[in-house]
Amino acid sequence: MNKSLDTNGLTIGLDVKYFKDTEIYNRVKTNIYFKTWQMACHSSQVKNPGDFFSFSIFDQDIFVLRGADNKLRAFYNVCQHRGHKLVDGQGSKRSIVCPYHAWTYDLEGQLKRAPNSDKVKGFDISSICVPQIRLEEFLGFVFVNMDKDAATMDKCYPGVKQAALELCPDIESKQFAHMHNIAEGCNWLIAVENYNECYHCKMVHREFAKGVIDPESYRIAPFGEGKVLRHTSKAPKNNDKAWMNVGDTSYGSFFLWPSASIQIYPGGIVNTYHWRPLAVDDTRVYRGWYSDDGEVDESLQKVIDLDRDTTFAEDLELIKNVQRGINSIGYTPGPLIIDPDGSIDSELSIAALHTWMREGVGELHENH
């Protein structure tokens, strides 16, 4: 029996242990985050040979680097001598020189120089490389996966590329324009759940519900065979209230389990969310914006500011509040609102996230 259903057939929310148990949090790291595709950056941020972009997923430091052969690769950010970190932040390099003892790697990760190593009998410089991890470019974004055996992104998220291209034919040529991030003070799944339901939109996101979407047509539902949630909506009905010039476009976003979403706002404005857990009760969210030329013009700035000051800020308050609630002795998870008509006021997407979470931490078929 599906253990999320109670005796009345209601779908009950996840037990609080999934949001606060450190053992489960460790499994989220090794079984979910280390085995799925993670958004790294945008291809335009590593445009030229030597360009690199570094980041961390849990305790793993990683960097993306464009080689002299123009190919993008991802590496563990660790020197193969005595383990110092190789690069920080982002920038451009002609070679990778470790800041500790100056071991020097080329742009393909091959060790080229190790001071005084010629005195060491048996030292084979050609056998030492920085270990690579999987990398794919997907709709102009760079994703990495620490699992060597992971399926390709097209297999994990089938149909997404095509559907996103239908909504925004030039999405792959967009350029990185702006990103802000903040530590949200809650478990990662609280943040991801909040993002993936709009049952709270009419109550909380009054500006979003007028400026970006048409609430009557808004839907969030599992998409295709993969672990994807697709958000769809017509553009706002009232052009005067819309945040942007909508023309005849519509709204769509694609949440790619477990941690990234690619959104296309009316008017073809491409933007992203991705989430990286910092601790069992803290998560950093990254909010990215993209444009045709990498510039933030006045109209895009208006959308970025409105989003940050309304939707983004409003959600931050909600999820911090829920983080406190899951620690309450008085809280037991309630039934989800699964609307068979799939309206904006449905939590069908939450039920899907809960299934993926149980499956991810290996508890789907376990009994309490």
Instruction: Name the residue nearer to ligand FES (CB basis): 103 or 290.
Output: 103
123 sits near ligand FES (criterion: CB under 6 A)? no
Tokens of 308: 């940050």
Among 71, 101, 113, 155, binds ligand FES (CB under 6 A): 101
Contact 47, 293 (CB under 8 A): no
204 sits near ligand FES (criterion: CB under 6 A)? no
Alpha carbons 361 and 305: distance in angstroms, whole number: 37
Q: Which does residue 98 bind out of ligand FES, Fe ion, none, counting CB within 5 to 8 angstroms by kind?
A: ligand FES
Provide the CA 51 distance to its chain's centre, in angstroms: 22
Q: Which does residue 81 bind out of Fe ion, ligand FES, none, counting CB within 5 to 8 angstroms by kind?
A: ligand FES
Q: Which does residue 122 bind out of Fe ion, ligand FES, none, counting CB within 5 to 8 angstroms by kind?
A: none
Could you tell me the strand order of the sheet in which 96-97 lies?
Answer: 96-97, 104-105, 111-113
Q: Mark the segment that binds ligand FES (CB under 6 A) among 93-101, 190-198, 316-324, 332-340.
A: 93-101
Alpha carbons 169 and 165: distance in angstroms, whole number: 5
- Per residue in 304-343, is it b (16+ CB within 10 Å) or e — as a string? bebbeebbbebbbebbeebbeebeeeeeeeeebbeeeeeb
Q: Which does residue 315 bind out of Fe ion, ligand FES, none, counting CB within 5 to 8 angstroms by kind?
A: Fe ion
Contact 84, 78 (CB under 8 A): yes
Contact 274, 284 (CB under 8 A): no
Among 315, 316, 353, 357, binds Fe ion (CB under 5 A): 315
286 sits near ligand FES (criterion: CB under 6 A)? no
256 sits near ligand FES (criterion: CB under 6 A)? no
- CA distances in angstroms from 185 to 17, 205, 307, listed in the order given: 17, 20, 19
228 sits near ligand FES (criterion: CB under 6 A)? no
Instruction: Name the residue nearer to Fe ion (CB basis): 138 or 195.
Output: 195
Report the amino acid identity of residue 263: Q
112 sits near ligand FES (criterion: CB under 6 A)? no
Residues within window 32-91 making contact with ligand FES, judged by CB under 6 A: 79, 81-84
Counting residues that bind ligand FES (by CB under 6 A) gives 9
Q: Which does residue 123 bind out of Fe ion, ligand FES, none, counting CB within 5 to 8 angstroms by kind?
A: none
Q: Note the residues at the interface with Fe ion (CB under 5 A).
A: 315
